[in-house]
Amino acid sequence: MPHDFATDAEAERWHYRPPEPVRLNPLFDWPPRPAAILHWYRGAWLMLTALTIPLLIALVIWAFVLPPLEQMQSFHISWIATVWLMNVIPQTLIAGGLHWWLYMRKGQGMRKKFDKRDLTRKNGTFTFNNQVLDNIWWTLGSAMTVASLYQCVIYWVMANGWVPMLSFAQSPLACLLWMALIPMWSGLHFYWVHRLEHHPKLYKHVHAVHHRNVNVGPWSGISNHWYENFFYFTTYFIHLIIPSAPLHLLFHSYFQQISPVFSHCGFERLIAKDTEVAKSGDFFHQLHHRYFECNYGTSEIPFDKWFGTFHDGSAEGTNRTRAHKKQMYTR
Ligand SMILES: [Zn+2]
Ligand SMILES: [Zn+2]
C-alpha cells in the first residue's frame, strides 16, 4: 500500500520519499511469489544498477588490467601498485563523477533527491571541516588501502596454489552461480559486521566516522574509520574458503566498494535530460543514516525484518525505531 502522505508525519521530513514502503527481497516471502522474485532479480541484473555497474567494471578490469596470477606468486611493488590503482581509479571516477553531476553541476536539480539539504561545508564534525573532503580522505586513504591490502594477500595465496580454485572454463555453471550469490554473501557479512559496529563502544570510536554523514553523498559510501575497514573488507576472505576465480574477487571488490557510492548518493534515480539512466540511491540505507538504529543490513536478505529492526520509511517505522533505541540505551 502506498504511504498516506496526508496523515504521515514522515512525509515532510524528506524532499522526496518513494511513494511505496521500502521493499525487501521477495525470495524469502512465504508463500512463494515467483513473479515478484523474477521482477526483483530482473530489476537488479538487467538494468544499470549498483550491481551491474560493478560487474561491468570487473569484466573490463579482468580482461585488460588484472596482472596474471603467475606474476603474483611473490610480492612485488609493480603488481601491488596495479591492484591499488585498479581500486582507486574506478572509485574516483564513479564517486567523483556522481558528485560532480549531482552536487556540483546539479545536473538533475532536486529531482528524486531524498534529503532537502545540500552537503555540509564549514562544519567541525568533519575532518578538514568539510564533508566532501572528509569523505574523500576516508575513502581513498583508509578504505582503498585496506581493500587493496586484503586483495593482494588473496591473489598471492591463489597464485601460489594454496587454496582450491574454480575456473570458468572447467566449471562455468558453478562459477556463474557463485557470481550470482556474491551480493547475498556480502549482505550477510555486512549485516553482522554492521550490527557489531553499532555496539555503543565501537560506535563511538569507530563507526561514528561513517555516521557523521546524516545527509549522505556519493563519497560517503565507504567513508569509514580504519578499524571499520579492517572488519568491513574481511568479506573478501570468503574466496580463500569457497573456491573462486580471480573474477569472483574482482566482482566482489567492486560490488563492495562501488555499490555503496550509489546507495549513498542521496538520489533515488540518475536522470539525464528527462530519461532515467540508472537506479542509484537506496532509501533503505538512507533511513539508516537518518534514524541510526534500523536497517542494519541490506534489502537483499531481510535480517532486519527477522530481528525487528526494519524501517520501511513510514511513520510507524520511525516509532518502532525510536522504541528500539530507547530499549537499547536503557538496558
Ligand atoms: Zn551504521
Ligand atoms: Zn552508510
- For 171-221, write each residue's pLDDT tens digit: 999 999 999 999 999 999 999 999 999 999 999 999 999 999 999 999 999
Q: Check residue 4 and give its pLDDT.
A: 62
Q: How far is the CA of 194 from the centre of ligand 1 (A)?
A: 6
Residue 280: predicted pLDDT: 81
Tens-digit pLDDT profile for residues 114-159? 999 999 888 899 999 999 999 999 999 999 999 999 999 999 999 9
pLDDT band at 10 (very low <50, low <70, confident <90, very high): confident
Ligand sitting nearest the alpha carbon of 191: 1
Using the structure block, give the residue that is written with the C-alpha cell 595465496: 157
Q: Report the C-alpha gap between 115 and 318 in whole angstroms.
A: 16
Phi, psi of 279, deg, nearest 5: -75, 135
pTM of the predicted model over 0.75: yes
17 in any annotated domain: no
Domain hosting 157: range is 54-330
Do 244 and 69 form a contact (C-beta atoms < 8 A)? no
Q: Which ligand has an atom closest to residue 216 CA?
A: 2
Tell how far the Cα of 264 is from the centroid of ligand 2, in angstroms: 6
Query: From the CA of 260, which ligand is nearest?
Result: 2
Flag whether 210 is in a domain.
Answer: yes
Q: DSSP class of residue 163?
A: S
The Å distance, Cα 158 to ligand 1 centre, comes to 33
Determine, yes or no, domain membership for 268: yes
pLDDT confidence tier of residue 5, bands split at 50, 70 and 90 = low
Q: Is residue 252 part of a domain?
A: yes
Residue 40 lies in a domain: no
Decide if 18 is inside a domain.
no
The residue to which cell 566482489 is assigned: 252
| Ligand number with the minimum distance to the CA of 197 | 1
In a domain, 313, yes or no: yes
Residue 43 lies in a domain: no
Domain count, the chain: 1
- Ligand 2 centroid – CA 239 distance (Å): 24
Q: Please answer whether residues 144 and 88 qualify as being in contact, where contact means their C-beta atoms are separated by less than 8 angstroms.
A: yes
For 223, residues 6+ apart whose C-beta sits below 8 A from its C-beta are: 134, 135, 138, 139, 143, 209, 210, 213
Starting from the CA of residue 221, give the closest ligand: 2
